[in-house]
């Protein structure tokens, strides 16, 4: 059983299982339509180019995959050419890899006394992309974990992925393992004429505790469909199928798909990737800064209608539970704030953005999930969203003798009264 199945938190998490080689079935026609860093100086990372599947270090390859994206497999129609909004062709230097200089972002208060302090970093961007608030270290390299999934989904849509609505939301999901998530993943695989056996994510139990308990009572074993990233992996396979790319090695950082993802990560974050490693599900994980993550989210939500960015944002907002699950706080946050796109990530990461370009990103240093949503909600209010829309995200009460005696309180700098409101 993976760490994710043993401990409540935010996906993606769990051990990395090596992917056995597998030959893909015959090709199938496409279905449907398709700034400088801040903080103390540190020696720049000197690792070589990414290679292999594990222990990856160094910047991603700058070899363009766009030509490969236009080469269909025999028997395929050409993948549709997706018009993308292009930002700077020269991203800023990669963020520095060093110890983060986090700051207090939340207090655990019991009976009027601060019992504990959660450290972390927070950034709030205004409509023009300027930093309106920063706490901690927003420029150091870190791993966004699953909060980067909307960017990965944008890369797949640009490469011709024709999914829409609930299935496109599932492609960017850290899902709970509910039956609708499993059924949706099967639908994506069927569009590519593939099966669960073609997935290379790790087998796992459902993320949702209630669903997981029922799964265990029924005697069911961990599976790849149940793992919270299966929708993303199915979409990756479908994208590869449409472009005539190999299937068995789609998680290799040198694969055309992952090169395309890396290019979009650098374009939307506005900075080069600092390092590449392997996420809990087995997919490549790109290290950027918290500032870069917020900038990417802002660019996705503020993109013109019909662009890949807008398609992903619309799908996730309209099908919030497909991108997460029933009762998940990230879905509730999108429901509570009109137009808000939100995505969580394991180890205390949260990003959220509005259509006018305002965005926030949060990293809780110790990965504690109890501080993630209260701090993120406070940051969203600090960005100008009406605080009354966010009252349900104050966090679970701290109990003493079965009665509430305290809770997690974001630090005073995140008080929405410190900034104008009214979104």
CATH number, domain of 282, equals 3.40.710
What 3-state class would DSSP assign to 359?
A: strand
Per-residue pLDDT of the chain (423 residues; tens, 9 = 90+): 333 333 334 444 443 333 333 333 334 433 333 333 333 333 333 333 333 333 333 444 444 444 344 444 444 445 544 445 555 557 889 999 999 999 999 999 999 999 999 999 999 999 999 999 999 999 999 999 999 999 999 999 999 999 999 999 999 999 999 999 999 999 999 999 999 999 999 999 999 999 999 999 999 999 999 999 999 999 999 999 999 999 999 999 999 999 999 999 999 999 999 999 999 999 999 999 999 999 999 999 999 999 999 999 999 999 999 999 999 999 999 999 999 999 999 999 999 999 999 999 999 999 989 999 999 999 999 999 999 999 999 888 999 999 999 999 999 999 877 554 444
Asked whether residue 188 is domain-assigned, the answer is yes
In a domain, 81, yes or no: no
- Provide the angle, in degrees to the nearest 10, between the axes of the packed helices 290-301 and 256-269: 90
Task: Examine residue 114 and state whether it is found in any structural domain, yes or no.
Answer: yes
Confidence (pLDDT) at 90:
77
Domains in the chain, number? 1
Inter-residue contact 375 to 393 (CB < 8 Å): no
pLDDT of the residue at 172: 98
The encoded tokens of residue 76 equal: 């395929």
Q: CA 391 to CA 384: how far, in whole Å?
A: 14
SS3 of 119, please?
strand
What are the C-alpha distances in Å from 414 to residues 343, 366, 391, 411, 417? 20, 19, 14, 6, 9
Query: Residue 38: inside a domain, yes or no?
Result: no
User: Whose CA is closest to 312, among 301, 325, 322, 296?
Assistant: 301
Buried-state track 290-328, b at ≥16 Cβ within 10 A, e below 16: bbbbbbbbbbbbbbeeebbbbbbbbbbbebbbbbbbeeb
Residue 67 CB contacts under 8 Å (≥ 6 apart), including other chains:
none
The pair of three-digit structure tokens given for residue 133, joined into one six-digit string: 């608030």
Q: What pLDDT score does 56 carry?
A: 39
Q: Please report whether residue 187 resides in a domain.
A: yes
Q: pLDDT value at position 85?
A: 54
Query: 319 φ, ψ to 5°?
Result: -130, 60
Pairing relationship of beta strands 103-110 and 403-410 according to DSSP bridges? antiparallel
DSSP-assigned letter for residue 32: S
Q: Whose CA is closest to 349, among 7, 13, 1, 2?
A: 13
d(CA 339, CA 113): 37
Is the bond into 304 cis (omega within 30 degrees of 0)?
no
State both tokens at 59: 């910047």
Return the structure tokens found at 234.
């199915």
- Cα(167)–Cα(232) distance, integer angstroms: 10
In a domain, 26, yes or no: no
Strand 359-364 to 398-400 pairing: unpaired
Domain carrying residue 259: 8-13+52-74+97-418
Q: Is residue 34 part of a domain?
A: no
278 part of a folded domain: yes
């Amino acid at each position: 059983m993976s760490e994710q199945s043993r401990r409540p938190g935010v996906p993606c998490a769990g051990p990395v299982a090596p992917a056995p080689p597998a030959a893909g079935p015959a090709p199938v026609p496409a279905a449907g339509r398709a700034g400088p860093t801040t903080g103390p100086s540190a020696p720049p990372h000197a690792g070589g180019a990414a290679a292999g599947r594990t222990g990856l270090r160094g910047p991603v390859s700058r070899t363009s995959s766009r030509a490969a994206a236009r080469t269909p497999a025999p028997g395929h129609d050409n993948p549709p050419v997706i018009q993308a909004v292009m930002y700077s062709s020269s991203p800023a230097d990669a963020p520095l890899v060093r110890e983060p200089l986090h700051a207090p972002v939340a207090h655990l208060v019991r009976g009027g006394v601060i019992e504990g302090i959660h450290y972390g970093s927070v950034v709030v961007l205004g409509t023009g992309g300027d930093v309106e608030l920063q706490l901690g270290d927003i420029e150091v390299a870190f791993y966004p974990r699953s909060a980067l999934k909307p960017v990965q989904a944008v890369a797949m849509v640009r490469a011709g992925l024709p999914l829409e609505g609930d299935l496109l939301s599932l492609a960017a999901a850290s899902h709970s393992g509910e039956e609708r998530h499993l059924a949706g993943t099967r639908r994506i695989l069927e569009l590519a004429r593939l099966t669960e056996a073609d997935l290379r994510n790790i087998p796992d139990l459902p993320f949702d505790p209630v669903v997981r308990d029922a799964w265990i009572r029924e005697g069911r074993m961990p599976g790849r469909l149940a793992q919270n990233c299966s929708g993303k992996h199915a979409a990756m396979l479908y994208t590869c199928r449409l472009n005539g790319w190999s299937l068995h090695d789609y998680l290799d950082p040198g694969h055309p798909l992952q090169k395309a993802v890396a290019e979009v990560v650098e374009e939307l974050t506005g900075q080069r990737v600092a390092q590449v490693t392997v996420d809990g599900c087995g997919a490549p994980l790109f290290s950027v800064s918290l500032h870069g993550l917020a900038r990417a989210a802002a660019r996705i939500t503020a993109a013109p209608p019909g662009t890949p960015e807008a398609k992903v944002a619309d799908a996730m907002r309209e099908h919030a539970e497909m991108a997460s699950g029933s009762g998940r706080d990230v879905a509730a946050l999108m429901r509570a704030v009109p137009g808000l796109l939100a995505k969580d990530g394991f180890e205390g990461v949260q990003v959220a953005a509005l259509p006018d370009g305002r965005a926030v990103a949060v990293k809780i240093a110790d990965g504690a999930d109890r501080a993630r949503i209260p701090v993120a909600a406070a940051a969203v209010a600090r960005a100008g969203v009406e605080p009354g829309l966010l009252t349900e995200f104050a966090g679970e009460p701290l109990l003493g003798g079965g009665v509430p005696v305290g809770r997690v309180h974001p630090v005073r700098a995140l008080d929405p009264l410190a900034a104008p409101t009214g979104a």
